[in-house]
Amino acid sequence: MTATHNQMANAIRFLSVDAVQAANSGHPGMPMGMADVATVLFTEFLKFDPKAPKWLDRDRFVLSAGHGSMLIYSLLHLTGYKVSLGDIKNFRQMGAKTAGHPEYGHVDGVETTTGPLGQGITTAVGMALAEKMQSARYGAKSVDHYTYTIAGDGCLMEGISQEAISMAGHLKLNKLIVMWDDNEICIDGNTNMTTSDNQCARFEASGWDTQVIDGHDPVAIKKAIAAARKSKKPSLIACKTVIGFGAPTKAGSHSTHGAPLGDEEIAGMRKALDWNHGPFVVPKDVKAAWLKAGARGAVDRAAWEKRTKRLKSTKELKATSAGKLPAGWTRKLDAFKKKTAEEQPKLATRQASGKVLEVLTAAIPAMIGGSADLTGSVNTMTPSTPSITNKDFSGRYIHYGVREHAMGAVMNGLALHGGFVPYSGTFAVFADYMKGAMRLSALMEQRVVYVLTHDSIGLGEDGPTHQPVETLAMLRAMPNFNVMRPCDVVETAECWQLALEQNKTPTGMVLTRQGLAPQRKTHKTENMCARGAYVLAEGKGGSAKRKVTLLATGSEVEIAMAARDMLQKDGVSTAVVSMPCWELFDAQDAAYRAKVLGKGTVKVGVEAAMRFGWDKYIGADGGFVGMTGFGASAPAPELYQHFGITAVNVAAEAKARL
């Protein structure tokens, strides 16, 4: 006996409500309402194979409305992924792969972490863009898939969604299909309390196709998805649904949004939907129908493998998708370091980064650059990275426009899709705008590089709104996120090398606007920045005679070096420690850290930022020369004098503690 559409959709509904009820926590309403849409998508259209969950040409499915996670867990269990009934029963419990929101890396079939609303739909834009770019490189025989996402009202209320919608429409990402769960309900009640937007008009204004359908009519759903797949534009399907569909007294109510239904309501739902089965029970014929739907993708996968086996590009496609970098790129970077040490140019580290990127992008075709309308300031475009346009996706540079929110999430999508190493630039202070995406980069262990220039009061006249005095502390507080603040061209090259080698950690490249004197004047093949901090200049008489240790990052290293000269002229043996990456330094063994910091020495931290975080290196009684409040608008040299970040003050701070 063949299961009907309603039976298959109801299997999703009851697994969802039973799991939420058992956990006494969760959001049952969305899975209940979108079960019909998901059933049609997964049985009729979505290209996937649970036996090969990382198949490169699979369609990508993103549950942007991640609070409805039981929808995707139910689908993965029913279609044959490694999500057992035990996993469903352990929903939201300690150690379970079925976390409260879908978490990337916890379970096959979850393409991205979706918790913060709006991040999912924007990450999906990155995935759809990646498909276009890979198809342009390797051809439609190798890369030809769609990106689908289910988004809720909350996703579309978040401001990041407009940046995503605008960007996708401009780029004409026609293989991106968004299914909007249009149920008119949010946590507080009806959405008419908070929004009167005409969402279809909004999407259309940004260059999308739109359709409005009954989200409980499988024929209408199938017709709409088929039409969207033929569009030359990205598509929105507004699915009119009833949240908590099937619940006898709570359907259509916000009470189903974020709380268990209760035993009595679930019993009434079983009766209303003619589901005469106990909790977590899926009838054999229904489960068989779902497994059959899950198995159908094996045919497409086998055909793809046969079709691409003899293509020359397949090996490269697989290598780049696995995150591998081409051989020889570090040798080219070392040659650049050697040349720089000999020539000793005085450059801002944003300019140094641009020079390094010229070497790296020429050697690593997978690197994809971009900026938030600041290309000339952040130096992220090179001769090897021509622009990507909606007519030509073979380029390697994305003009994100003034869309920092979207830029971070799109880069996550590029990295998660596979095949690319994304980096992009903006001013460091605007890391505030990207924080949500940066946090997800770290949480998902993605190699994404954030170029953050104009990193201190050294940017000068733009004033305190642009001077990120507290940003370094914020970024350093984030787990699994490396903050790199190099002091010259050589350190910049070394930090870029580390950023690319750390394939499970995102990086913030924090760079200056102002020119910096070279500090690394003797070439060393060894990457001195790899241990996070190192003795740039030892005190007179060696480490045993050292009395003072000056610790600095970035533009303040040269100030520390000048202060060292003053102190040593006065007979005080002083070392300067460059600390380009605290996170890497903290990972070193205790003996190395103690040797660098200098046991028993006076310690002074120097950084044009707030003191927060420095005490673990200099001690609560250590000296610090930096900022104590917001900056001001003036030329950079005057600001350093005004705020007392000078060699004279650094030397005085040290002497006061001798």
Whole-angstrom Cα distance, residue 214 to residue 197?
A: 19
Structure tokens at 41: 């998508």
Distance CA 575, CA 561 (A): 9
The tens digit of pLDDT for each residue in 547-574 reads 999 999 999 999 999 999 999 999 999 9
Segment holding 653, helix H or strand E: helix 647-655
Interatomic CA distance for residues 474 and 452, integer angstroms: 13
Helix (H, G, I), strand (E, B) or coil at 449: strand
Q: How far is CA 153 from CA 91, 132, 240, in A?
A: 24, 28, 12
Backbone region of residue 231 per phi and psi (left: phi > 0; alpha: psi in -120 to 50; beta: other values): beta
Give me the pLDDT at residue 1, please: 54
- DSSP E strands in 411-503: the ranges are 421-427, 449-453, 482-484
- Give residue 450's identity as a one-letter amino acid code: Y
According to DSSP, the residues that pair with 235 across neighbouring strands are: 177, 209
Strand (E) or helix (H) holding 399: strand 397-399
What lies within 8 Å, CB to CB, of 43 at 6+ separation is: 8, 290, 293
Domains and CATH numbers, the chain: 5-304 (3.40.50.970), 329-510 (3.40.50.970), 531-655 (3.40.50.920)
Residue 175 CA to residue 231 CA, distance in Å, equals 8
| 528, 492 Cβ separation under 8 angstroms | no
Question: What are the helix and strand counts (H, E) for the chain?
Answer: 26, 18
Q: How many residues are there in the chain?
A: 658
Q: What's the pLDDT score for residue 414?
A: 98
Are 218 and 275 in contact, with CB atoms under 8 Å apart? Answer: no
Q: In the chain, what is the greatest distance between 2 CA atoms, to the nearest angstrom? A: 94
Q: What is the pLDDT of residue 493?
A: 98
Are 87 and 22 contacting, i.e. CB atoms less than 8 angstroms apart? no
How many angstroms separate the CA atoms of 102 and 135, rounded? 28
Residues designated catalytic: 404
Give the pLDDT score at 273: 98
End-to-end CA distance of the chain: 88
Q: What is the pLDDT of residue 179?
A: 98
Burial of 522 per CB tally in 10 Å (0-12, 13-18, 19+): exposed
Could you tell me which of 577, 602, 588 has the C-alpha nearest to residue 653? Answer: 602
Q: Which regions of the chain are under pLDDT 70?
A: 1
pLDDT (0 to 100) of residue 543:
94
